[in-house]
Amino acid sequence: MEKNDQLFIQLLYIFQASAMQALGKIKSPITGQIEKNIEQAKQSIEMLEMLKEKTKNNLPDELIKALDTFLSEVRLNYVEEMNKN
């Protein structure tokens, strides 16, 4: 895997982790506490969606699959949290 491909996956992971943290699925690395912020989670999801749109037809299959996987995971968890309210 090329260095830029690895960096792209790291970028996706940053947004995925941010969304999961904001959904209260993982602890904040700073406070060690669960801190929910649904708006922040929504923004992270929107960032992943924007990356998908802006990179359309410009990514190898491996990166498309990674992006789709991250996006599906955060969307499902977002819906789960919204259904709790």
Domain range spanning residue 7? Answer: 3-84
Name the stretches of the chain with pLDDT < 50.
none
What integer pLDDT is reported at residue 1 of this predicted model? 83
Any residues with CB less than 8 A from the CB of 44 and at least 6 apart, and which? 15, 16, 18, 19, 22, 74
What integer pLDDT is reported at residue 64 of this predicted model? 97
Q: How many domains is the chain partitioned into structurally?
A: 1
- Encode pLDDT of 3-16 as tens digits: 999 999 999 999 99
Q: Could you write out the DSSP letters of every residue in 38-66?
A: HHHHHHHHHHHHHHHHHTTTSS-HHHHHH
Q: Please give the Cα distance from 77 to 14 (Å, whole number).
A: 16
